[in-house]
């Protein structure tokens, strides 16, 4: 991740969120993926092994290295 860029946590990586994950990752700003569904987190872990995963929104809010949070939930 580029240290000059903000670090973004994305909450929700399902239907539309997976596209945001891909784009944020390509931009080098994705710092965390948050999703309560273990199956979704497992899939994201395989696709993005270098990105931290979390199951709760509060983990993104309390992470010292996260500068912004994007929400992609229904």
Residues 6+ apart with CB under 8 A from 73: 11, 12, 14, 17
Kindly report, residue by residue over 23-62, the tens digit of the pLDDT. Answer: 999 999 999 999 999 999 999 999 999 999 999 999 999 9
Radius of gyration of the chain, Cα coordinates, nearest whole angstrom: 11
Prediction pTM value: 0.90
Question: Residue 3's pLDDT band (boundaries 50, 70, 90)?
Answer: low
CA distance 60 to 65: 9
């Amino acid at each position: 991740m580029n240290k000059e860029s903000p670090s973004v946590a994305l909450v929700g990586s399902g239907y539309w969120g997976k596209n945001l994950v891909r784009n944020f990752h390509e931009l080098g700003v994705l710092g965390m993926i948050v999703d309560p569904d273990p199956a979704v987190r497992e899939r994201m872990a395989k696709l993005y092994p270098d990105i931290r995963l979390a199951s709760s929104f509060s983990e993104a809010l309390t992470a010292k290295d996260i500068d912004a949070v994007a929400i992609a939930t229904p």
